[in-house]
Amino acid sequence: MTATPDVAPLRPAAGAAPHRSRLRRIASHPLAHLAAALLLIALVQSFVAKVYQVPSASMEQTLMPGDRILVDRLGIAGAPERGDIVVFERPDAWRDAPRSEPSPWRAAAGWVGDLFGLGPSNGDALVKRVVGAPGDEIACCDDGGHVTVDGVALDESYVTNDLPFDADTIDCDSIPRSPRCFDPVRLGPGEFLLLGDNRADSSDSISLCRGDVPTTPACARPVDRENIVGRVFLRLWPLDRVGAP
């Protein structure tokens, strides 16, 4: 019978066990859990979904000032669709004056706020509804006072507080013309026409073109695709209004 040679058991290298023990202690520390949670929040906010606060009354009653909304950044990788509510960065054409640079402290606080969705922001985001997409011709109004896309009236049951329009009294042929009216606007590649649901109190893509003002490229303010952050899919706050907008 052949004798089995003695084999010495494998032992961890000197110092390996204490090293693993230190790693376990670090990983189990509450500060490590907090750092991991903050990192996860930052990644989600940057690439998946981001929290915004509604800045104005232009989307009432769909969204109210101060509402917290969640914006889908992944699902809008293609083009936004007509009817979507979107958050976008304010284009220069929408500004009354050039934006001033924040102080270093304010910029740092805004960076943290943008990263984690809490506190101040360095962005200048607005929220509106997509009414026209690239290639569309949008106008207002038909005989019923509706916005049309390529000659077809839109069903805009979400609109509240619309501008006055009454066929044969104050319409697109009367003098003065109804402030709801605007001449046809043809959208170019990558351009979207964004309007507020609260039409009478919304500064938007067409507000400078309404009424007796001739519709020109100078008054229409379409928004480029690159400015659009994502689609609003959930209202987070207040709690009594949580749900899809």
d(CA 148, CA 184): 9
Which of these, 182, 185, 203, lies nearest to 90 by C-alpha position? 203
Q: What is the pLDDT along the chain (245 residues), one digit of tens a residue?
A: 555 555 555 555 555 556 667 666 666 666 665 666 666 555 555 556 788 999 999 999 999 999 999 998 876 666 899 999 999 999 988 887 566 666 676 656 655 666 556 555 656 899 999 999 999 999 999 999 999 999 999 999 999 999 999 998 999 999 999 999 999 999 999 999 999 999 999 999 999 998 877 666 678 999 999 999 999 999 999 999 999 99
Fold designation for 32-96+109-241: Umud Fragment, subunit A (2.10.109)
> Using the 8-state DSSP alphabet, how is residue 214 labeled?
P
Give the Å distances, CA to CA, from 152 to 139, 183, 204: 10, 15, 21
Q: What pLDDT score does 191 carry?
A: 96
Structure tokens at 141: 């109004």
The yes-or-no answer on residue 50 being catalytic is no
Model confidence, pTM = 0.77
- pLDDT, position 196: 97
Q: Which two tokens stand for residue 6?
A: 């003695």
* CA nearest neighbour of 216 among 190, 185, 237: 185
Q: Which of 21, 46, 103, 128 does the annotation list as catalytic?
A: 128
Per-domain residue ranges of the chain: 32-96+109-241
CB atoms within 10 A of CB 185: 23
Q: Of 58, 178, 202, 207, which residue is the catalytic one?
A: 58
Strand locations in the chain, DSSP E? 49-53, 68-72, 85-89, 125-132, 137-140, 147-149, 152-153, 182-186, 191-195, 223-224, 228-237
